[in-house]
Structure formats: C-alpha cells, structure tokens
A = this chain, B = another copy of it.
C-alpha cells in the first residue's frame, strides 16, 4: 500500500479515511459498521481515557460497570429515550447455536433457544442504570450519586465512518442523581466544562460551549449542553454532550428519595459522555497532507530518535548518545522511543513517524557525533534545527510546549476566522457554500424554521453559545424578531 495520502484539497473525505488506515489508527472489520482500533490508535485513546478519568475522579465521580444488555421492557420505560434509539438497536433474540442439520460443519441459531424477552444491546445506559439506582437511593444521604462507566455501546447506524460514526464505539457515560434541580443543572454544566477544558488544553482543539435546541437534544433530556469544534473542512463536530435529564428517568423508573424533612420526591438526573469520536476530531483538526499531527500531550511517543549509520561502531556510539538522551527525557516524564530497527532504512522511518504524527524526531548521524549535536525535526511545521547535546533536554521541553501551544493557536485562529455573522438568508447560503464554518445568525426560536433551514441547506443549529450577548435582531429565514444569535453549521 502506498504511503502517500490523497491531499485534503483533492478529496477531504478520502484523505481522512486513508490517513486513519495508513497511520495505523483503525480499520474497518468484517462486521458491518464496526471498526478495529489498532494499537497505535488505541494508545492515543488510552491517553485520553487516563486524563478524563483523572478529571472525573477529581470532581468526585467513581467508576462502576452495568450490563451490556437492556431487557426490552426496561428499554421502553422512558418513552422519549426509547423512541430516540429504537430505530438503531441491535437485538439479541437467542442464546444458543446448534449444528445446522442441512449444512455439515455449519451452525445455525437454535430455534428452541429463543429468549422470553428480547435484549437490546445498550445504545446508551440510562434505562439499565436508573432501574438499578432505584435500589441504591432511599434518602438524601444517598445523594448525590456520582458514577461513570467506561463501556462499549452499539447504535446501528446505516452510514458509518471510522471513529466518526460506527455501529459499535467506545465511550464513557456519567450518570448522576441529585436531590435538587439546581444541583443537577450545576453538575451538567460542570461536566460540560470538564470536557471543554480537556479538549482545549489536552487535545489542543478550541470548542464553543453551548446548549442544544429542542430538536437537537438527547432523547429523554430536558436540556443538552455541548461542546462544538470546527474541522479543517469547515464542518462542525459535536465533541461531547452533557444532559440535564430533569426527573424524566426517575419518574420512568420510580426512583424516589426521602428529603431531610422526610418527604418523598423523585430525584434529579444528569448524564454525559464523550467517545472514540474524539479521535476523529483530533485527526481532522491538526493533521495535514503528510499525515497525522499529534499534540504532545496525546502522542504515544513524543520524541523518536532515528540513528543514521553505516558501521557497527557508529551505531554503538549513537546508541550510547541515544540512551543518555532517553534517560534525561524520561526523567522529565517525556515518552521517547529509540527506533533502532534494522529492518527499515532511515528514510522509511522518517516517513512512518511523519505519517504517525510523532511531534519531534531526533536524527543522529556520524557528523552529529563528531560535533556533539543532533538534528531535531518538528512534525507540526516541518522545520528542522541542529541542537547541541548540552542544550538538548531544555530545547526538547521548549519545543514540545511550543508545539502544544501552536497547534491550539492555529486551530483557534482557523475557528475564529470561520465564525461569520450573517444577516440574511442569501448571505447564509453563500457563506455556507463558499466559506463554511460556523454561521452566527438570528433565529426565530421555532422548530419549523430550524427544520426548513436544514432541509434547504443541510445546516443545523449546532448550539446556542453559553457566552452569548443579548442582541435584538430578526430571524435570518423568517424575519421574525429574535433576541440572540445561534451558531449554524454543516456537521459531522
């Protein structure tokens, strides 16, 4: 397989698919719509998990694990949630295979092993979790209940794309229970904020925090907070959501608590999640025509050292220098790899590390040995410099910090220059088609107008930004009065 990628301008979508596969992040599997996350892609996901898990625990949450399956009768208990997910559920109907009497060596479903009640493979876990919480919550002393789960979920999407939309994906889902509405609302906002901080500071992706319109809300939620990012092709990507569920699930599953006065009340709920979709956001924000570009905080290897040598003596001398660099950088908690494979030439190694987005590449050759220097190449801007071994550790630290900051700044500049205020529908369509990005426009607040705009342009309201100034205006489509702008975009 050629290592060269289709360029972004040539075919953005093809560039993305090729990059995911060639950089060894993921690939399609034999199961329709399900992906295999390859070791290099999984190592990046593990870094995301570790950081998020730390943040969840710092904010008082504990992990737990709930069943993969949801009995149909529980699944249908919260009607809006059930309606929202029913059309994309994988359903287990049997619990045994048997030899196929018509086809020797083949198996078939045993018709006698039909389940009395079908089991839905969880598309999200509110139902099974709230059915469990009924047994865990009796009094205000049991609240708040702050739980997170790392799990796989299945949504039978018809059109799938690696990381962005897959039938099975990995995620975390927080599910919390509270004594008051105010506390639950605070939790939903807090976790949206945790997501925003993580995505901005760790993934170097700027996001807009906002709330969803009614039609874009999570099925079963009273309010959905979200973080929205902008990809390089001008399309938005929802990077995380945090839902205020009101008392909807508590009522559907009859979860009540005795308050301090001894009065019974239904509890208030939130749920919130991010998924392997973040991998898609990461790729599409920073990468270029040469391949993946990784912020140092997510790179499995922040630095790679490639030896350039002809003789064994040279290799031995380079190895000594490399080992000393590795020791120094590991002491600074940096991840570094010595790529001394004898099966590949330096050029092939350079190409691979470029394709896989290793932030810094250090090359050491015989001349460097003589001069006491190394060559450092930055992956983000493809610049090189020669550095004295004496300055190396400090310079690597500086460069890694600079790469992390530069990637964020570059993405922020792109994003900020792609939020366009428009005042009429012609401009709306024009900007959407020719410039892309977020369109900041007045909207009359009705589902009808939102639907009509979507139908005409494929743009949806990504969110009503949390930090929004009040501003009198008229709806970009109907001309009806409006008090604030919302963000429209085409979206992944």
Interface residues of A (CB under 8 A from B): 27, 29-31, 34-39, 42-43, 45-46, 62-72, 74-76, 79, 82, 86-99, 105-107, 109, 118-121, 128, 131-132, 135, 141, 147, 151-152, 154, 156, 168, 170, 343
User: Across the interface, do A91 and B87 meet the contact criterion of CB distance under 8 Å?
Assistant: no
**Residue from the list B62, B92, B98 in contact with A43, Cβ < 8 A:** B62
What residues of chain B lie closer than 8 Å to A39, measured between beta carbons? 62-64, 147
Contact of A97 with B86 in the complex, beta carbons under 8 Å: yes
Give the contacting residue for A86; candidates B46, B65, B71, B96; CB below 8 A. Answer: B96
For residue A147, which residues in chain B have a CB less than 8 angstroms away from its CB? 39
Identical subunits present: 2
Please, which residues of chain B bring their CB within 8 A of the CB of A75?
97, 107
Q: How many angstroms from the CA of A87 to the CA of B95 in the assembled complex?
A: 8
Q: Are B343 and A29 in contact (CB under 8 A)?
A: no
Residue among A68, A70, A79, A135 with most chain B CB within 10 A: A68
8 Å CB contact of A66 from B36, B95, B118: B36
| Contact with A64, one of B42, B89, B95, B121 (Cβ below 8 angstroms) | B42
Contact A156/B95 with A39-B64, A65-B42 known, Cβ cut-off 8 Å: yes
On chain B, the residues within 8 Å of A62 by CB distance are 39, 42-43
Q: Determine whether the beta carbon of A97 is less than 8 Å from that of B91.
A: yes
Measured between beta carbons, the chain B residues less than 8 angstroms from A121 are 68, 92, 121
Whole-angstrom distance between the Cβ of A385 and the nearest chain B Cβ: 32
Given contacts A95-B156, A152-B152, 16 further A-B contacts (CB under 8 A): A27-B135, A30-B71, A30-B132, A36-B65, A36-B67, A67-B168, A68-B154, A69-B90, A72-B107, A76-B105, A86-B99, A91-B93, A91-B94, A92-B92, A92-B93, A93-B109
> In the assembly, what is the distance between CA of A45 and CA of B119, in Å?
26
Residues from chain B with a CB closer than 8 A to the CB of A98 are 86-87
Complex interface: chain B residues within 8 A of A95 (CB): 88-91, 156
With both chains docked as a complex, state the minimum distance between the C-beta of A312 and any C-beta of chain B, in angstroms. Answer: 20
CB distance from A228 to the nearest CB of B (A): 27
Which residues of the other chain, B, contact A72 by a CB distance below 8 angstroms?
97, 107
CA distance A36 to B175 in the complex (A): 14
Minimum distance in angstroms from A68 CB to a CB of chain B: 5
| A86-B98, A156-B96 known; A70 vs B31 contact (CB < 8 Å) | yes
> From A119, which residue of chain B is reached at the shortest CB distance?
B31
**What are 29 A-to-B residue pairs whose CB atoms are below 8 Å?**
A27-B132, A30-B67, A30-B71, A30-B132, A31-B67, A31-B119, A31-B128, A34-B68, A34-B69, A36-B64, A39-B64, A42-B65, A65-B170, A75-B107, A76-B107, A86-B96, A86-B99, A86-B107, A89-B97, A90-B94, A90-B95, A90-B119, A91-B93, A91-B95, A91-B96, A92-B92, A92-B121, A93-B109, A141-B343
B132 and A66 contact, CB distance less than 8 A = no
Partner of A63, one of B43, B105, B120, B128: B43
**Residues of chain B contacted by A64 (CB below 8 angstroms):** 36-39, 42
Smallest distance from the beta carbon of A55 to chain B beta carbons, Å?
16
7 closest A-B pairs (Cβ-Cβ)? A39-B62, A34-B67, A37-B65, A86-B97, A95-B156, A91-B94, A31-B67
Q: Which residues of B contact A96 (CB under 8 A)?
A: 86-89, 91, 156
CA distance A86 to B99 in the complex (A): 9
Query: Which B residue's beta carbon lies closest to that of A74?
Result: B30
**Contact (Cβ within 8 A) A36 B132:** yes
Bound Cα distance from A50 to B30, whole angstroms:
31
Q: Is A168 a contact partner of B69 (Cβ separation < 8 A)?
A: yes
